[in-house]
Amino acid sequence: MVHAPFIPFGRIRTGTTALSLPWGSGSGRAGLTPGRESATLGPSSFDVDGRGRIYLADAMQDRIAVFAGGRLQRQTSIALSARADVALTDAGALFAIDRAGPNVIVRRIDPAGRVGLALSLGMALQGQIRTDGEEAVADLLPQDHWVAVDADRFGSLARSGTTSGRPVHDTQLLRVIDEHSLRLGTVSGGRVVDAVEVRFIQRLGEVALAESDGSGGYWAVVHVWRSSPGPADQFQVVHVASGRIVQSFAVGDSRFADTPPLGRFRLGLDGNLYQLMTRSDGMRIVRYKLGGGS
């Protein structure tokens, strides 16, 4: 067990802006539906490829928009709900998980921007989608099962297995959180290895991100919050490896639109951490360079 450093509320890292879009209609804007006795809805998710290009699920404009250096590179029209989650493969294909009535569906956009047919994963509540190599892994709730989805060479999708942990290469990533601790582990060869429990002084909400660092350690982003003396919340980033905290810092919770809770952070394929933030004037994706000490 390791203890995460206590970071007071408000002592946050600001990062650098990788993408900034005002609200509105059109290719250079991000769609927003202001809440009226309902949630305020905007972009639902994003991912970042190895070159730092940002793939934005602009759900209110029914498109996946690709930005490089803050400029639109291309966009693909696709019907998205405000809860759609997306994830990129190493080769540049993008998978999207979404709701279709009571069912969960997965679609794939190939690297050329062509949208394939949807695969229904049946009746379930939508969790998140991630990738493992060139296949997608979809988290179905409330069972918290991960369903692997493969594409054949024609782009047709098919289920290829179900696991209780998230498939990562030939292992499974486990994550469990309670009010003050985060437990991470890897199932390999039928055994749990590299297990670690990280204790926090502050109260915890969700695991907004949990990723293997590729060397037996983990990157995680957890929501920390308090009710008193005054309500406050922020996110704490931790890198834990070899049974110790290698790096930890806090980032803010800038939230104007009600972005789905598991669509707000990504560990980009370029190795940086990204956060989707929203304000009254628009959205930003902020980059935090990782590495070095805390």
Partner 1 sequence: MKRLFVLLWVVLPVVLALPSPPQALASWAGDNCNGTHYDDYYVKRSEAQSYASAAAEEGYEWGGGCWNNNNKDDTPDAPDSRGEGPDCSGFTFKAWELRNGFGKQGFEKWERLYEIHGPWTTYDFHSPVSDDPFYKLADKNVSTTIYMDAFAKDGHVAMIYVDGDSPFGLDLMIEALGDDPGTGKFYESYRSQSEYVGVRREDWTDDCWPSCQHPSPSVVVVP
Please give the residue ranges that form the binding site for partner 1 (CB under 8 A). 33, 35-41, 59-60, 81-83, 99, 101-102, 125, 127, 141-142, 144, 175-177, 179, 203-207, 222-225, 227-228, 231-233, 253, 255, 258, 261-262
The residue (of 24 and 50) whose beta carbon lies closer to partner 1 is: 24
The residue (of 37 and 170) whose beta carbon lies closer to partner 1 is: 37
CB of 37 to partner 1, least distance (A): 4
CB of 224 to partner 1, least distance (A): 8
CB of 249 to partner 1, least distance (A): 18
CB of 203 to partner 1, least distance (A): 7
Place of tokens 């892994």: 137
What are the start-end ranges of the H helices in the chain?
A: none
CB of 191 to partner 1, least distance (A): 20
The residue (of 97 and 151) whose beta carbon lies closer to partner 1 is: 97
Place of tokens 């490829």: 49
The residue (of 127 and 217) whose beta carbon lies closer to partner 1 is: 127
The residue (of 203 and 279) whose beta carbon lies closer to partner 1 is: 203
Nearest to 119 by CA among 136, 133, 131: 136
CB of 223 to partner 1, least distance (A): 4
The residue (of 3 and 226) whose beta carbon lies closer to partner 1 is: 226
Spell out the long-range contacts of 150-156 with Cβ–Cβ below 8 A and sequence spacing 24 or more: 151/93, 151/108, 151/116, 155/108, 155/110, 155/114, 155/116, 155/117, 156/116, 156/117
Q: How far apart are CA 186 and CA 262, in angstroms?
A: 20
DSSP state letters, 150-217: EE-TT--EEEEEEESSEEETTEEEEEEE-SSEEEEEEEETTEEEEEEEEE-SSEEEEEEEEEE-SSS-
